[in-house]
Structure 1
């Protein structure tokens, strides 16, 4: 099972860290006993902060795909699902006390990365998602001249209902960095649409990130086709999660351990190597996996 756990660790990184604990090691026996570990391996999901109970693995066969989807389903989040382009404007108008972040996505389900970010910043930023398969909502919001299926992230600062398009890379690290600045109030937002257009032109010539203000004047009627999303299982823990695997001493299948950093005897699960990356989980099928991108 260890190679499968390693593949899942690769797929979930950096959004959800996976760890391994050797329950036969004397220094870990008390911890494993307190957590009710009676057999090996034992997989549990732990909310950060210790305010919620752990969740035992109930994802079927212990393979990378199942580890990944079980973890993704159980990440707590408060991401609001919007129905159409008009709802984007209405929602931001009614949530201006805090910054807002809206994802326009062609995916019918909430991406793992958006769940993880929504969970991380749930106390400081309101998150929403609009299923925009055709890209028509982006056109109505003034983001595009022609429909396309590319994902788009819109940010609105606290105290304002004006949406600004995030023009950086839609990967976890840069988005996390930008949202952190939005949450702490250090993010810079344009003062006007004209200023944004000028900045966007300058950024295109210089290679810098620009932001584009959304024009809500074209958004009048919810004339955007939508599809029902399948309902995810109940999300019980109130904060971010990290799976933990209890293992026997010196398991023969476990890859060389990663050197821990301020974690005592709890080791971070080794990531899959480049040689195994092609078999990492991807929407339940084999193939190259890039889940840290929208």
Structure 2
């Protein structure tokens, strides 16, 4: 009896290992039941791989896709769907999947997906995903526009990034999708707004991230990593929600 149970457990393990095309814990495995809620309820871009465990090309893609998921942790959602299971066949049919692997990018919310047909290498997939990310970051292009953000912060916290980069980074875009309902996001390029505008906020060099809230300015001084930045901004988002709840209660 014990040997029979052991054999059954081994078969289940082998079956699970066979079905798991991707090994990274940062690849979320979705089903017909969980896919739409996970993808369409998120403001972030979702990169989805539709695969079959027996597919040789899927196995070839696996290490590249795992590296993509690890590199984009927190930046985009990276998911997979096993189209070989009966449960997921309706979803794969709805998505028009005709071959494996098929990669699709969902820009966020209810926006229609885009197929990715480029090279199946880590660098190229990352470039395509980050290039199609949604963003809620606005530009403050002059010293006067930067100064005006102090007034805006009286009603809603403002995240202000002083930067030397000409483009908004994927990291800052991702944070804006996380908190745009509670925090307004701005980026100001040092060469556009000038040193005096930066010094008025106590900033000497870039990059520098500030949160303006009420009449106060809080400067982030940790590592430029998603988890640390997310934790920093979450405090201001929660305070904003708490303030709204308190105001609603006072209005009753």
Report the TM-score range of the alignment, normalised by the length of the smaller protein: 0.5 to 0.7
* Higher helix residue share: 2
Match of 1:153 in 2: 209
1:65-214 alignment to 2 at 5 Å?
Answer: 65-94=123-152, 96-132=154-190, 136=195, 139-144=198-203, 147-148=204-205, 150-157=206-213, 160-185=214-239
Work out which of the residue numbers 39, 51, 56 in structure 1 matches 2:99: 39
1:3-14 alignment to 2 at 5 Å?
Answer: 3-14=63-74
Partner of 1:185: helix, strand, or coil?
Answer: helix
Per-residue Cα deviation, 1:183-241 (whole angstroms, up to 9, x for no partner)? 11079xxxxxxxxxxxxxxxxxxxxxxxxxxxxxxxxxxxxxxxxxxxxxxxxxxxxxx
1:105 Cα offset (Å): 1.5
1:7 Cα offset (Å): 1.9
Q: Give the aligned CA root-mean-square deviation in angstroms.
A: 2.5
Closer, same or farther in 2 for the Cα pair 1:171/1:88, shift >3 Å? same
1:11 Cα offset (Å): 1.3
Identify unmatched segments of 5+ residues in structure 1. 188-294
Closer, same or farther in 2 for the Cα pair 1:78/1:139, shift >3 Å? closer
Match of 1:20 in 2: 80
User: Is the 1:85–1:141 Cα contact (8 Å) retained in structure 2?
Assistant: no
Task: List, as ranges, runs of 4+ consecutive aligned residues in structure 1 with deviation greater than 6 Å.
Answer: none
Cα distance in 1 for residues equivalent to 2:233 and 2:201: 23
| Alignment size in residue pairs | 180
Please identify the structure whose Cα radius of gyration is greater.
2
Partner of 1:18: helix, strand, or coil?
Answer: strand
Cα distance in 2 for residues equivalent to 1:9 and 1:38: 24
Cα distance in 2 for residues equivalent to 1:5 and 1:25: 21
1:33 Cα offset (Å): 0.7
Match of 1:56 in 2: 115
Identify unmatched segments of 5+ residues in structure 2. 1-60, 242-252
Closer, same or farther in 2 for the Cα pair 1:137/1:65, shift >3 Å? farther
1:169 Cα offset (Å): 3.0
Per-residue Cα deviation, 1:67-104 (whole angstroms, up to 9, x for no partner)? 11211122211201122343211134245321110111
Match of 1:222 in 2: none
Match of 1:249 in 2: none
